[in-house]
Amino acid sequence: MTRVAAGGLQVDAAAAFASENPLLVAGVVVALLALLGAGVWLRRYLSRTPGERLHRMLTDYDRIAVLMHPNPDPDAMASALAVNQLVAGTDTSASLLYPGEIRRPENRAFQTVLDLDFDHIETVNDINGEAVVLVDHNTARGFPGAEEVEPVAVIDHHPGNGSGTEFTDIRSDYGACATIFASYFNQLEFEFSDTGESIDIDAAPAETIPCALATGLMYGIQSDTRSLTNGCESEDFAAAAFLYDGMDSDLLNRIANPQVDAEVLDVKSRAIGEREVRAPYAFSDVGEVSNTDAIPQAADELETLEGVSAVVVVGEKKGTMRIAGRSRDDRVHIGRAIEAVVDDIPMAEGGGHARMGGGKVPVEHMAGLGPSNGVSREDFRERVFDAMSGEL
């Protein structure tokens, strides 16, 4: 009984306090409500998906510049289109930019079949102070002034230290950047639409995934993972399953299997016919070519030969010998091997990555112009084999 009486006393005291200090009580109530509101907002903010955060961040800008890496491949191009689609129908306009060239047949087919019109940049000045979004790479490269670029957002699947000032999503275990964008669209609940076969970059309908974009993202995943056989995660399969509902398989077929230039087949056949194999290494000289792209493609072909794990193919155009190397042998860093081969030839260049490398040698310098004594084609071939077996 005394307890109840005491409780009654407290309530009375509280009521008396409130009637004497109405402003203070109102203030406390407002503060509590504000705190609750902030808590709810924070909870919502923290539970937002990366796709939602990127979408909201991008729409704060009037103009964004989506930058692909030099010589963009289908994964980079599809990813740039995905950013454009994220801001479609909003007040944000996007320009899709690339340095270098779109040259390899599968990259050209991608661009032609989907009727894409990207903007080429020569230097950093062509970016023009817009907010930069990097896709499929995390540090701008390949054009004068690239080191000045400070992206606001970076979406990538390559390892590296690059980051965006406002948004960074690097998933280096994923097989393709397109996989990340497929997950954004999935989280944002964009609908698939079957508008047209090509992509109108300037007039994409909002909050949809046009059929051509779903197809492009699918091919981005396929081409970066050798059709889901290499370097991929379950997320890449999940993204492909998601995109399957919105893509067009005829369109995919046209992108994935472009008609091949007759000279490319011819050069490949010469590379095979002229090959010299000293297992597990191979070398081939395809002679004069008019399309230098055929040389790396011939190297790709020769690398698939059973028993061959590293290969160098050379060919010549307009007085310059072009070198393309491929390796799937952990003992051969093909970029460094080519660098070593051309090391003391004046005006020659060579280098690249562990699995892919290339170079150029002016033929007149090979013949001994300038300070060197010259390198014969036979010497050159021997040096290539020495470099691949680590003896140079």
Residues 335-374 that bind Mn ion (CB under 5 A): none
Q: Name the H helices within the chain.
A: 2-20, 22-46, 50-58, 74-86, 105-113, 177-188, 211-224, 234-244, 249-256, 262-273, 294-303, 334-342, 363-366, 377-388
Residue 345, token pair as written in the block: 């030839």
CA distance 299 to 235: 31
Nearer to Mn ion, 224 or 293 (CB): 224
Among the residue ranges 87-95, 137-145, 172-180, 359-367, the one whose residues contact Mn ion (CB under 5 A): 172-180
Footprint of Mn ion on residues 107-136 (CB under 5 A)? 136
Query: Closer to Mn ion at the Cβ: 56 or 353?
Result: 353
Cβ nearer to Mn ion, comparing 169 with 224: 224
Q: Which CB, 153 or 177, lies closer to Mn ion? A: 177
Return the SS3 of 7. helix
- Residue 201 Cβ vs Mn ion, minimum distance, rounded to whole Å: 20
The answer to whether residue 156 forms part of the interface with Mn ion (CB under 5 A) is no
Question: CB 168 → Mn ion: shortest distance, Å?
Answer: 16
Q: Which residue stretch of 43-51, 223-231, 352-360, 362-370 sits at the interface with Mn ion (rule: CB under 5 A)?
A: 223-231
Footprint (CB under 5 A) of Mn ion, residues 258-287 = none
The dihedral sign for the CA sequence 291, 329, 376, 364:
positive
Residue 353 Cβ vs Mn ion, minimum distance, rounded to whole Å: 14
One-letter identity of residue 370: G
Of 224-253, binders to Mn ion (CB under 5 A) are 224
How many binding residues for Mn ion (CB under 5 A)? 4
Q: How far is the CB of 322 from Mn ion (least distance, A)?
A: 25
75 makes contact with Mn ion (CB under 5 A): yes
> Quick count: other Cβ atoms within 10 Å of Cβ 388?
29
State how far the Cα of 61 lies from the Cα of 70, in Å rounded to an integer. 25
Task: Give dist(CA 54, CA 190) in Å, integer.
Answer: 14
Query: Which one of 177-185, 202-210, 307-315, 357-365 is the stretch in contact with Mn ion (CB under 5 A)?
Result: 177-185
- Biggest CA-to-CA distance, the chain: 113
Provide, rounded to whole angstroms, the least separation between the CB of residue 111 and Mn ion.
16
Long-range own/partner contacts, residues 253-256 (CB < 8 A, 24 or more apart): 254/109, 254/113, 255/74, 255/106, 255/109, 255/110, 255/113, 255/114, 255/215, 255/216, 255/219, 256/106, 256/219, 256/222, 256/223
Whichever of 224 and 301 has its CB closer to Mn ion, that residue is 224
Nearest approach, Cβ of 351 to Mn ion (angstroms)? 21
Smallest distance, Mn ion to C-beta of residue 230, A: 12
DSSP state at residue 225: T
Closest-approach residue to Mn ion (CB): 75
Give the interface with Mn ion as residue ranges (CB under 5 A): 75, 136, 177, 224
